[in-house]
Amino acid sequence: MIPTGQDSLNTRSTLEAGGKKYAYYSLQKASEALGDVSRLPFSMKVLLENLLRFEDGVTVTRDDLQAMVDWLKDRQINREIQYRPARVLMQDFTGVPCVVDLAAMRDAITALGGDAAKINPQVPVHLVIDHSVMVDEFGTPQAFEDNVALEYQRNSERYEFLKWGSTAFDNFQVVPPGTGICHQVNLEHIAQAVWTSQDQSGEEVAYPDTLVGTDSHTTMVNGLGVLGWGVGGIEAEAAMLGQPISMLIPEVVGFRLTGALGEGITATDLVLTVTQMLRAKGVVGRFVEFYGPGLDALSLADRATIANMAPEYGATCGFFPIDERTLDYLRLTGRDDARIDLVKAYAQAQGMWRDGSGAEPLFTDTLDLDMATVQPSLAGPRRPQDKVLLGDVDDRFNDELEATYKKGNDPRVPVEGEDFDLGNGDVVIAAITSCTNTSNPSVLVAAGLVARKARALGLDSKPWVKTSLAPGSQVVTDYLDRAGLSEDLNAIGFDLVGYGCTTCIGNSGPLAEPISKAVNDKDLVVCSVLSGNRNFEGRVSPDCRANYLASPPLVVAYALKGTVRTDMSDEPIGIARNGEKVFLKDIWPTNEEVRSLIDAHVNSDMFRARYADVYRGDDRWRAIEVTKSDTYSWPSGSTYIANPPYFDGMTMTPAPLTDVKNARALAVFGDSITTDHISPAGSIKLDSPAGKYLTEKGVPRLEFNSYGARRGNHDVMMRGTFANIRIRNRMLKDVEGGFTSYAAPNSSGGGETLPIYDAAMRYKADGTQLVVIAGKEYGTGSSRDWAAKGTMLLGVRAVIAESFERIHRSNLVGMGVLPLQFQDGEGANTLGIDGTETFSIANVAGIQPRQDVDVIVTGKDGSSRMIRARCRIDTYNELEYFHAGGILPYVLRKLAA
């Protein structure tokens, strides 16, 4: 971001680092005018600097700066600010629809008489292709090459489109497939901790590295002292085009860490403990900042693991300040010495340097954890915050089996053509996957050592387990190879399958047909164990009802054991070749064994070599030919890329908002409905509305790919909205999947059972408006803009929920959908709402941020009652977007004018 040069407080100063001079905006000078800022949380100091740098008297005022300092009085303040991140990070699942929108905006601004070149990123944008590789092949030396070949075959249209985008837009760089996971590439290469750019005078200005990303786990980079969080694609697009992000000054919860992890305890065990504690505390919409002497005992990679899972504990971000560990990591990953010198000099000059001396920051609230108390843990079977101690997994699973799935210890089912059978609780997927763990050397080396020790004893993965290794970075392969651990992992089935999110995003690939058939014929509750951050229903695999998050070494151990039904900590996981029982303790490495291999085999040369030409790609990527042009030639009949309808018929003046009148409930949902429920990323069922659409377009079943890969086509994604195979609409009894009860015009409610998409299209034809009713934590999970886009395209005018997760609420506003929140203690259950009612909301055009709104609910007997709900349009900027029909039409009209 290029600073404005505005400086009403006269805080512009100069520092020298690495033999070079930089301008910067001094918090010390600001404190002379505004008050002492020394005990502001480090993350708040980053926000204050951002406002200071962009103070212009209009979007950022002196009062905004004063409010940031006055926050210290009560450690909370209800004020809207305009925040401008330095850059934007994207991945391909969310990036394709972003580039589709930008291309469509170029067409639309041209139609409005504007200049297409105005639709261009104003800040650096990096898109990393990491979400498209699937685990089709596994357990062989050829798995990686085969999966990459399939990836290019399936996604050629998408990749051609993204490559066009990299030539059509300035400030837009694409990291090709097969490089790594976007958050790891960000951590290891893109992020700088302190960013620099020239201002209008040509002077080099230093400021904190900040970003927003179109993936919720953008928060990972907060482990490096870089403030960043996930936003919806539509909000990211606005940020790219120069719009500030409107936000309330956050509350900041301090999480004090003391002690150190015990022998054999992993960063995964720690982050699952932290997640459970913070989710119980309630930190949605808040920053979390980690502090205390325990930070000295955490490597940067461990910090990044904790920061990564901020969406799982509900926070906007989980921030770690800059200190010596930060500099150590910058050196390890091959950053320039001059940059490292600047990071230290800048952080010290700004009071952003943590060295353990001086008074600790002040926080809105605090928690404490002695890391010595952390025990081996997993999380599951359905939510990341549901931590379960390793020794309790079997008992807890058996309880779930009876209570949730209504099953007992059913007989085992023979697998056709195999000499083994399957039963409830068997592990059919064991995946070392995701951004959270797969580039943390401590847990990757530990996984390799578990494989080495198991191999030496003659153990192997069970034949029904689909095993995979998908590192977050190519550097992982380098140090596993050098340590000789790749050979050990390969020997028990954990061959390299790709560099990408794979199983964690739902790209686990199909199970072997006989195994899938046995599971589905008898409706077995089989499990996946993955080193990921998400285990929501229907996400990992359509065949796995129970999913457990675990550290990479535990993933290997569960592949060896093959079930969660017996105690991993006390019972044998296998029989050695000498006939003796082998227990987990027999193959678990010591901390010293792990550390010695890391010290010997992980070095900066690896990072420099891997990132020397990171944007060039392999031969396949370089072979993709594109023609540079300002506007995109939309391919006729493509089922991957299509011009979306958001700007059809748009004029320079938005249509006035209308009231919601006699709207029907499209669905009534319970608690913890995730963005995976609303807009799944995984496989497309043949008999679903999306599957039928693709079939009608001549796409064979084997080429359906996934919802995530088809996010550039609105026709597919509309049909996939609310299509998760595990979603439950309370308007229907004992029905699983995306269905609803369609009420014909003038009916008293209730009627024909239809897929939600089909019902929505009938309602549209009837001229009937729609609402969605939901419970607590609506929209938890990924920063999936299609969860809001699809909702809008189905005709939903409002979502009324008991509470919203931060990103999805913002996305709904950004698409012109009204989010309303029931009064505390109220919801569909307490108010007796079952979906047969109609809903009316008056004076929609006059609604103000966070005001109470009257909703008239009319029952099927004709009686009406009024309920109160809180408008969750939180800021006046958001209100402007809502009146404009969404954030993209707002920005488009502004640029066209």
Taking residues 394-420, report their average pLDDT. 89
Tell me what pLDDT residue 1 has: 41
Taking residues 411-439, report their average pLDDT. 94
Tell me: cis bond preceding 381? Omega within 30 of 0 counts.
yes
Tell me what pLDDT residue 711 has: 94
Please answer whether residues 428 and 519 qualify as being in contact, where contact means their C-beta atoms are separated by less than 8 angstroms. yes
Please answer whether residues 743 and 664 qualify as being in contact, where contact means their C-beta atoms are separated by less than 8 angstroms. yes
* Locus of tokens 């969404």: 886
Q: Kindly report, residue by residue over 627-658, the tens digit of the pLDDT.
A: 999 999 999 999 999 999 999 989 999 999 99
Using alpha carbons only, give the angle 686, 692, 694 rounded to the nearest 5 degrees: 95
For residue 15, the surrounding DSSP H or E stretch is strand 12-17
Taking residues 777-785, report their average pLDDT. 87
Tell me what pLDDT residue 538 has: 83
* Locus of tokens 């600047």: 342
Residue 878 has pLDDT above 80, yes or no: yes
Straight-line distance from the first to the last Cα atom of the chain, in angstroms, rounded to the nearest whole number: 23
Instruction: Report the C-alpha gap between 230 and 65 in whole angstroms.
Output: 24
Cα separations (Å) of 418 from 388, 468, 681, 867? Answer: 33, 21, 31, 59
Q: Kindly report, residue by residue over 671-723, the tens digit of the pLDDT.
A: 999 999 999 988 899 999 999 999 999 999 989 988 988 999 999 999 999 99
Burial status of residue 61 (CB atoms within 10 A of its CB: 0-12, 13-18, 19 or more):
middle
Region of residue 565 (phi > 0: left; psi between -120 and 50: alpha; otherwise: beta):
alpha
- With cut-offs at 50, 70 and 90, classify the pLDDT of residue 411: confident
Instruction: Report the C-alpha gap between 295 and 292 in whole angstroms.
Output: 6
DSSP output for 573-609: SEE-TTS-EE-HHHHPPPHHHHHHHHHHH--HHHHHH
| Domains of the chain in sequence order | 87-373 (3.30.499.10), 384-602 (3.30.499.10), 654-678+729-896 (3.20.19.10)
Tell me what pLDDT residue 749 has: 65
Residue 410 has pLDDT above 80, yes or no: no
Instruction: Report the C-alpha gap between 229 and 247 in whole angstroms.
Output: 12
Residue 7 has pLDDT above 80, yes or no: no
Sheet holding 227-230, edge to edge: 172-175, 125-128, 87-91, 210-213, 227-230
Tell which wins on pLDDT, 201 or 657: 657
- Return the sign of the alpha-carbon dihedral for residues 380, 385, 386, 387: positive
- Nearest CA among 502, 503, 524, 316 for reference residue 412: 524
Q: Kindly report, residue by residue over 47-88, the tens digit of the pLDDT.
A: 999 999 999 888 899 999 999 999 999 999 989 999 999 999
Residue 5 has pLDDT above 50, yes or no: no
Please answer whether residues 819 and 881 qualify as being in contact, where contact means their C-beta atoms are separated by less than 8 angstroms. no
- With cut-offs at 50, 70 and 90, classify the pLDDT of residue 745: confident
